[in-house]
Structure 1
Amino acid sequence: MPPDKEVLSIHQFSLTIDGKSLGIFTSCTGLALSVVVDEVLDGGFNDSPVYLPHRVTYPPLVVSRPITRDSPKWSQWVQESVQKQPKPLTGEIACLGRGNEAVATWELQDVMPVAWRGPSLDARGGSVAMEEIEFVHRGFRPKPKA
């Protein structure tokens, strides 16, 4: 397979939940899946295991960015989302390249915010104050380019 013509540099991510933009984030972890398998020993010698897929698991998705004036609004949104009767939300996360063009996008299924974390408040640290929003979901799939 020939190498890509261009090596893409991704510097930020956009997140949309039910059509509402949550803005731009500088970090995203948890966009992953794992297949849980059952190992079955096959044959009379029991030396050739067969792996049967059992289920797919998805870790929580965590996005982070520097604190802004809107950060209190997002912490309140997470609280209100879980206090109401939770309903399945749809989501979309996009890796943004040059000119904020979406390089790759994934659709998230049955998204629910479960945590908001603010910065550790320590004026001596000299680091950027960050916020994180954590979501659980029931899977994702690549969104085809339009």
Structure 2
Amino acid sequence: MNLLDPKHVLSHRFGVFFFESGVIPNMMDIRFQKVSGLHAEMTMDSVTEGGENLYTHRIPKRVSYNNLVLERGIVNLSPLSLSFNATFSLFKFSPSNVLVTLFNDKNIPVSAWMFLKAIPVKWSFGDLDANANTVEIETMELSYTRFQTITI
């Protein structure tokens, strides 16, 4: 397997697009250093059949999702930072849809994930260290109702 083969998509070209009120794109908050939490898992129930001792039936119960975690250098007064501030300072929530898009080397979208009704659930900042000379990173974590893969 050749990882530099043009058929393989590298994971470092991506954009994150927030749709305020679900429809209006926020073009200021699209660049992030890292995105994680692209994970869905089916929860299963086990049902035993009377008289059957060799196995149990496994039946799908529900889908569960991890939180979407975004990391970037601190951006002051961006719409996303203001939304997080309103959530954690005023307990005001404005759910938004979030589109994470993966691009190829020609900046053409090749895959995407849409996260529906996302709301902030955690906001953290890196340690302040007078001996370090690094970019201060803020981590934004969102909960959402579900996500779907968009085929491009």
TM-score, normalised relative to structure 2? 0.77
Over aligned residues, Cα RMSD in angstroms?
2.4
Task: Choose which of 104, 109, 112 in structure 2 pairs with 1:97.
Answer: 104
Instruction: Please say if residues 75 and 116 of structure 1, whose CA atoms lie closer than 8 Å, have aligned partners that are also in contact.
Output: no
Task: Choose which of 33, 52, 73 in structure 2 pairs with 1:26.
Answer: 33
Q: Which segments of 5 or more consecutive residues in structure 1 lack a partner in the other structure?
A: none
Instruction: Please say if residues 69 and 141 of structure 2, whose CA atoms lie closer than 8 Å, have aligned partners that are also in contact.
Output: yes
Mapping of residues 76-91 of structure 1, within 5 Å: 76-81=82-87, 83=90, 85-91=92-98
Residue by residue, what CA displacement relative to the aligned partner does 1:109-133 show, whole Å, maximum 9, x if unpaired? 1111222222211132444421211
Residue number in structure 2 paired with 1:106: 113
Residue number in structure 1 paired with 2:22: none
Q: Which segments of 5 or more consecutive residues in structure 2 lack a partner in the other structure?
A: 20-24
1:107 to partner: Cα distance: 1.2
1:45 to partner: Cα distance: 3.5
Residue number in structure 2 paired with 1:121: 128
Residue by residue, what CA displacement relative to the aligned partner does 1:4-63 show, whole Å, maximum 9, x if unpaired? 862221214311121213221121111111111111123523221111111111111001
Mapping of residues 1-146 of structure 1, within 5 Å: 6-18=7-19, 19-21=25-27, 22-67=29-74, 70-71=75-76, 73=78, 74-81=80-87, 83=90, 85-145=92-152
Question: Could you tell me how far apart the structure 2 residues matched to 1:128 and 1:101 are?
Answer: 29
Question: Could you tell me how far apart the structure 2 residues matched to 1:119 and 1:87 are?
Answer: 25
SS at 1:143 equivalent? strand
**Identity percentage over the alignment?**
24
TM-score, normalised relative to structure 1? 0.80
Structure 1 residues 5 and 96: CA distance shift in structure 2, 3 A: closer
Equivalent pairs counted in the alignment come to: 140
